[in-house]
Structures are given as structure tokens and as C-alpha cells.
């Protein structure tokens, strides 16, 4: 993988041919005291991870990257950063797409083309009182030239969706980190309001009936809003509202 990638000031690129997981490499750097802004990218991963410890298929040709941040705000803001990152990735992907391409977002951190997932984000955090400086790793996997067939949701890749030519992983990473830097600066300066608006504008599911699989139950209702912290606001059949901070969302009859 050639390191032809110009990142904004404050970001440092680490390029690997093959790692188990770029998130694990980033965590190692974080625990060793590395500064915010380390960007790790690998041509392939041998133990790529998705949310809830699921495997993330990671053959060559797609993007596998992790960004190390040292958030100054409490880790409770992680949900907001996850939406910031999704937004940045949606905008980066759109830059390489056909003129009419519209990238949408599925809460909490899936990036979709049409109904199918083309990218996912995995945020992991650590440190804090007695455990060193807090860190947050924002991992992203983008299906550029291939996607897994054996997943329980519709999946796709940029090449299949008419991205011709499909972007080299490092070009997509460069675009993403610039958008991430821009959105993070806006979020730090102005708070969550703009991010929330921009995120909702990319949600085809707002107002729709959804099914949510939580840690120990399944709930149904209507996705009515994002709260001020980035949680999903669910309106249940009885009219009551419930704030959901983690879970898998299913739409329509899926
Ligand atoms: C998901 O949708 O479940 C999240 C997928 C995140 C995958 C990326 S690939 C780069 C980074 N390293 C990992 O092991 N996982 C994330």
C-alpha cells in the first residue's frame, strides 16, 4: 500500500500491509501514550472486528482504518463522535460517487447506499481515572471493491454501486480524515446541533417504524428523533418515548 495521502495538520499516518485489527494497533498506541491524531490504515486485516465482537471481513482492496482521538469531553460524548464520524464518512464516500449518488446513515453508525450497508464504524474507548489519559479509537471499514455475502443484512460495495473507478483506499481515507477534522472542529466549537441536523438529513428512516435489538430485549416503535446526546428516540406503541443508547436497528419487515 503506497503512502500517498496528505492529511490535515495534527494527523499522522501509519500504513500497514497486514494487521489483525487496526483498532487493536491504535489501542496499543493509545496505551503507549501516543498523541491524538494517529491514523492507522492496513491493506488487510486478519481479525477485523465489527460491533458486538462480530467478525469484519477484511480482504485487500477495501478500507480498514482507525483514528486515535484524545477527547477532552467526557466519554459520554462518544455517541456524538460516532455520528460525527458517520457524517464525515458519508461525505467522503459521496465525493467519489456518481453525480446522483446519495449516501445515507443508519443509527448508530452504518453507512448505506440504497438499502445496503457499505461501511461501518467501531468506536472503542479506554483510559480515564487511574488508567492513563482517556482515548477513543474510531475504526472504519468501507467495502470498496468487495462485500461479504454471509451477513444478516443487505450489504454492498462502492464498485457495485457504480463508483467507477472505485477510489483507492488511501484516497478515500484522505477525504474522510479531512471531513472528520472539519466536523470535529465544528462540533467542538458549536456543540452537537449542526451535527445532529446534518445527520438527520441523511437518515432515510426518520419517522419510520423500526425494530430494535437491545442487549436483552427487542423493542418496536417509531424512530422520531435523535436526542441532544446522540441517542435514538423511540416512540412506543402506547405513545411513550424511550431513549436508546445502543442496539441494532431493523427497518421495514427485516
Ligand atoms: C460494524 O459495522 O460492525 C463496524 C465495523 C468496523 C470495522 C473496522 S475495519 C477497521 C477497524 N478495525 C477493526 O477491527 N474494525 C474496524
The residue nearest atom 7 of ligand 1, judged by CA position, is 141
Answer for the pair 82, 120: CB distance below 8 angstroms, yes or no: no
Distance between Cα 39 and ligand 1 center (Å) = 14
Determine the distance separating the centroid of ligand 1 and the alpha carbon of 239, expressed in angstroms: 36
Q: What is the pLDDT of residues 144-178, one digit of tens each?
A: 999 999 998 999 999 999 999 999 999 999 999 99
pLDDT at 200: 96
76 has a pLDDT exceeding 80: no
What is the distance between the terminal CA atoms of the chain, rounded to a whole angstrom? 38
The predicted pLDDT at position 224 comes to: 94
- Please, which pLDDT band fits residue 253 given cuts at 50, 70 and 90? very low
Across the range 100-119, mean pLDDT stands at 96
Helices (H), the chain: 22-31, 78-95, 169-190, 193-201
Residue with cell 477532552: 72
- CB of 121 sitting under 6 A from ligand 1: yes
pTM of the predicted protein model? 0.95
Q: What is the DSSP string of 5-54?
A: --PPTT-EEEEEEEES-HHHHHHHHHHTTPPTTEEEEEEEESS-B-GGG-
Which numbered atom of ligand 1 lies nearest the CA of 47?
A: 14
Answer whether 120 contacts ligand 1 (Cβ < 6 A): yes
141 lines ligand 1 (CB under 6 A): yes
Q: Are the CB atoms for 13 and 7 separated by under 8 Å?
A: yes
Amino acid at each position: 500500500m503506497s503512502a500517498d495521502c496528505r492529511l490535515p495538520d495534527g494527523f499522522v499516518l501509519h500504513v500497514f500491509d497486514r494487521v489483525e485489527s487496526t483498532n487493536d494497533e491504535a489501542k496499543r498506541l493509545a496505551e503507549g501514550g501516543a498523541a491524538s491524531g494517529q491514523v492507522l490504515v492496513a491493506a488487510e486485516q486478519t481479525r477485523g472486528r465489527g460491533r458486538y465482537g462480530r467478525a469484519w471481513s477484511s480482504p485487500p482492496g477495501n478500507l480498514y482504518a482507525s483514528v486515535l482521538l484524545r477527547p477532552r469531553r467526557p466519554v459520554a460524548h462518544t455517541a456524538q463522535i460516532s455520528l460525527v464520524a458517520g457524517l464525515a464518512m458519508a461525505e467522503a464516500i459521496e465525493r467519489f460517487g456518481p453525480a446522483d449518488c446519495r449516501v445515507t446513515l443508519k443509527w448508530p453508525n452504518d453507512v448505506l447506499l440504497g438499502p445496503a450497508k457499505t461501511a461501518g464504524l467501531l468506536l472503542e474507548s479506554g483510559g480515564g481515572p487511574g488508567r492513563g489519559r482517556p482515548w477513543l479509537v474510531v475504526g472504519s471499514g468501507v467495502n470498496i471493491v468487495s462485500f461479504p455475502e454471509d451477513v444478516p443484512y443487505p450489504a454492498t460495495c462502492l464498485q457495485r454501486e457504480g463508483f467507477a473507478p472505485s477510489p483507492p483506499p488511501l484516497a478515500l481515507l484522505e477525504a474522510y480524515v479531512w471531513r472528520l477534522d472539519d466536523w470535529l472542529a465544528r462540533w467542538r466549537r458549536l456543540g452537537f446541533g449542526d451535527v445532529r441536523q446534518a445527520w438527520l438529513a441523511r437518515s432515510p428512516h426518520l419517522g419510520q417504524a423500526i425494530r430494535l435489538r437491545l442487549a436483552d430485549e427487542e423493542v418496536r416503535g417509531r424512530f422520531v428523533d435523535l436526542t441532544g446526546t446522540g441517542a435514538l428516540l423511540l416512540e412506543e406503541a402506547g405513545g411513550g418515548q424511550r431513549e436508546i443508547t445502543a442496539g441494532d436497528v431493523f427497518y421495514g419487515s427485516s
